[in-house]
Structure 1
């Protein structure tokens, strides 16, 4: 696994060259019977999640894409990430905050141009910035809580590939 350049990466990625046929690797994941994990295949994609018993709000999942290099080898691309529903929710909230910030910024500029009081808008914009930072640190905290499970997912993937 390639080392990551910094700690800000929200969805760590890696690549592996595997000296096995693509279909062989995909079948290995399909046939895996591990109680702790749910493994789903969709074409060349493998999704590995924790079962409901081991799953918590910040549990990561591992998305693998396996591309054929030639008849005897393939390349595996992996992405660790949060549950897609959680990820979509976080992106939606960020979009709403950014949109409100722009709208209120336009309102503040209009008020200032007309010579009216615009302190309320500046206060709301400041609160939106604070909320943005709270969301960022909540995401970082969740990533930290999910890190041990990220290592479990990586170990599981490594065990399947080496079997």
Structure 2
């Protein structure tokens, strides 16, 4: 089977994939544990019958260290393997919190400025400046996320290779 024809090839555009296998959850988990043991110095992780989390072994640990999360689910008479590439859930949650916080503050400060102008009050002369500061904070958060993603590109390639070699052999063509 060629990689271009699989669902795994869509990882370049979206960091998710879904494959079907004829193996049971237990057998798939055992095969994944064996593959992980064979590549002990390069990858580390935790594997059980429902979920597996794989990381690339490095000498450093940065905030955007990518992980491959594999989840096995029963669908009809097949087992679906869902994979997600990305940082830990704590990092995603932190960045979403920052985006949410800065966006709400921007809307609040801009609304204060707009209402002040409409009623011709001058109680909040700092509101427009504060709204621009929040836009700057959103831009800095975005830049930090992009920096982390670029820094982790090599590790993402290794995780993609791991996903291809460890799970592609079990993929079934859906007809």
Q: TM > 0.5 between the two?
A: yes
Q: Cα deviations across residues 69-88 of structure 1 (Å, max 9, x unaligned)?
A: 466x5221111111222222
Q: Offset at 1:43?
A: 4.6
With normalisation by structure 1, the TM-score equals 0.80
Residue matched to 1:137: 143
- 1:53-92 equivalences under 5 Å are 53=59, 55-69=61-75, 73-92=78-97
Runs in 1 of length 4+ with deviation above 6 angstroms? Answer: none
Residue matched to 2:10: 3
133-142 vs 143-152, greater mean Cα deviation: 133-142
Instruction: Judge conservation of contact 1:69–1:75 (CA < 8 Å) in 2.
Output: yes
Residue matched to 2:157: 151
Aligned residues: 158
Instruction: Judge conservation of contact 2:68–2:83 (CA < 8 Å) in 1.
Output: yes
Residue matched to 1:18: 21
What's the RMSD between the two structures over aligned residues?
Answer: 2.6
Structure 2: gaps (5+ residues):
1-7, 171-175
Structure 1: gaps (5+ residues):
none
With normalisation by structure 2, the TM-score equals 0.75
Q: Offset at 1:151?
A: 1.4
Q: Cα deviations across residues 68-109 of structure 1 (Å, max 9, x unaligned)?
A: 3466x5221111111222222211111210221122123223
Instruction: Judge conservation of contact 1:39–1:47 (CA < 8 Å) in 2.
Output: yes
Q: Cα deviations across residues 46-82 of structure 1 (Å, max 9, x unaligned)?
A: 11123463533321001111123466x5221111111
